[in-house]
């Protein structure tokens, strides 16, 4: 113990004497120069290098899980889930990314809990950030809006009200797999809902399972997927930046 303290003191002394010889320039660098990204004129709109996945006009960037044209509707700049027509995914594949997506829950009708305004943003088609109406709609907290489904409840309920647009900004670090598909780095996510952090660098335990425990299966870049959970959830202004 005493030896350790002695060595620490010697170490600090060595670092201090070394730092004393440094100039400010020793810790400044000039290359590589970060690329210029022109921010959008209005907050929430895509910056210059974003891949715009839905600009309100059509679903040309999307397909069904069978690779067919999606049957979700597009009207007035919004896309709406047509219940029973299935999930849709991007034609393009993504890894680490920044994602912006806005959604609106349909009128509740007689539905409650997981049946009310359920959809999902599936990062890399595997990891679900829940989309759900949280307007006076109790459910299990690790399945509410802002949750990483059945893994992590949100830090706060930042949902506003049924019928109002909700805004997700997502920062995604894809899992990394090594030889033989061995997990080297788990996925990590930060989620901001309506300007409020609801997931703060949460480290995922694997895919988000409905039944059973999460687990990782090796994969590379994957499409972004949106869920058809039987309710007519509406989306708009979807863009993504590769990181
Ligand atoms: Mg869902």
Residue at 235 is within a domain: yes
Q: What is the distance in A from the centroid of ligand 1 to the CA of 168?
A: 14
Full strand arrangement of the beta sheet holding 127-131: 62-64, 88-90, 225-226, 119-123, 127-131
Note down pLDDT in tens along the chain; length 243 residues: 455 554 555 555 555 666 679 999 999 999 999 999 999 999 999 999 999 999 999 999 999 999 999 999 999 999 999 999 999 999 999 999 999 999 999 999 999 999 999 999 999 999 999 999 999 999 999 999 999 999 999 999 999 999 999 999 999 999 999 999 999 999 999 999 999 999 999 999 999 999 999 999 999 999 999 999 999 999 999 999 999
Question: Which residues are found with C-beta within 5 Å of the ion, ligand 1?
Answer: 118, 120, 227, 229
Residue 1 pLDDT: 44
pTM for the model: 0.91
Q: Which parts of the chain fold into alpha helices (H)?
A: 2-19
User: Please, what sign has the CA dihedral across residues 198, 168, 70, 79?
Assistant: positive
Residues whose CB is less than 8 angstroms from the CB of residue 201 and which lie 6 or more positions away in sequence, other chains included: 188, 189, 190
Q: What is the distance in A from the centroid of ligand 1 to the CA of 42?
A: 29
Q: What is the distance in A from the centroid of ligand 1 to the CA of 3?
A: 57
Nearest CA to 164 out of 212, 236, 213 is that of 236
Q: Tell me the DSSP string of 83-147.
A: TTS--EEESS-BSSEEEEEEEEPPP-TT--GGGSS-EEEEETTTEEEEE---SS----GGGSTT-
Q: What is the distance in A from the centroid of ligand 1 to the CA of 130?
A: 5
Residue at 8 is within a domain: no
Q: What is the distance in A from the centroid of ligand 1 to the CA of 238?
A: 17
Residue at 156 is within a domain: yes
The residue count of the chain comes to: 243
Residue at 18 is within a domain: no
Q: What is the distance in A from the centroid of ligand 1 to the CA of 118?
A: 5
Residue at 155 is within a domain: yes
Residue 41 pLDDT: 94
Phi, psi of 180 (to 5 degrees): 70, 15
Residue 20 pLDDT: 76
Nearest CA to 98 out of 34, 227, 190 is that of 190
Cis, bond preceding 32 (omega within 30 deg of 0): yes
Range of the domain at 229: 49-242
Residue at 190 is within a domain: yes
Residue at 1 is within a domain: no
Q: What is the distance in A from the centroid of ligand 1 to the CA of 40?
A: 30
Query: How many structural domains compose the chain?
Result: 1
Q: What is the distance in A from the centroid of ligand 1 to the CA of 67?
A: 21
Q: What is the distance in A from the centroid of ligand 1 to the CA of 227?
A: 6
Q: What is the distance in A from the centroid of ligand 1 to the CA of 125?
A: 12
Q: What is the distance in A from the centroid of ligand 1 to the CA of 114?
A: 8
Residue 18 pLDDT: 64
Q: What is the distance in A from the centroid of ligand 1 to the CA of 61?
A: 21
Task: Give the CATH number for residue 198.
Answer: 2.60.120.560
Residue 55 pLDDT: 96
Residue at 75 is within a domain: yes
Q: What is the distance in A from the centroid of ligand 1 to the CA of 120?
A: 4
């Amino acid at each position: 113990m005493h030896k350790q303290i002695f060595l620490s003191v010697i170490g600090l002394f060595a670092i201090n004497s070394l730092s004393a010889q440094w100039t400010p320039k020793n810790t400044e660098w000039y290359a590589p120069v970060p690329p210029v990204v022109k921010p959008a004129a209005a907050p929430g709109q895509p910056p210059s290098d974003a891949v715009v996945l839905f600009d309100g006009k059509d679903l040309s960037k999307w397909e069904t899980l069978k690779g067919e044209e999606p049957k979700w509707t597009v009207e007035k700049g919004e896309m709406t889930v047509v219940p029973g027509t299935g999930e849709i995914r991007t034609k393009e594949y993504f890894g680490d990314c920044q994602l912006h997506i806005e959604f609106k829950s349909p009128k509740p009708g007689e539905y409650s809990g997981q049946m009310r305004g359920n959809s999902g943003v599936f990062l890399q088609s595997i990891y679900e950030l829940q989309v759900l109406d949280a307007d006076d709609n109790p459910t299990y907290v690790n399945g509410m809006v802002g949750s990483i489904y059945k893994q992590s409840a949100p830090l706060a309920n930042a949902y506003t009200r049924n019928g109002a647009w909700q805004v997700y900004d997502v920062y995604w670090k894809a899992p990394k797999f090594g030889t033989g598909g061995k997990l080297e780095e788990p996925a990590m996510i930060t989620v901001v809902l309506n300007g409020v952090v609801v997931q703060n660098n949460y480290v995922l335990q694997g895919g988000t399972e409905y039944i059973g425990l999460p687990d990782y299966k090796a994969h590379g870049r994957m499409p972004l997927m949106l869920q058809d959970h039987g309710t007519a959830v509406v989306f708009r202004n979807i863009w993504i930046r590769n990181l």
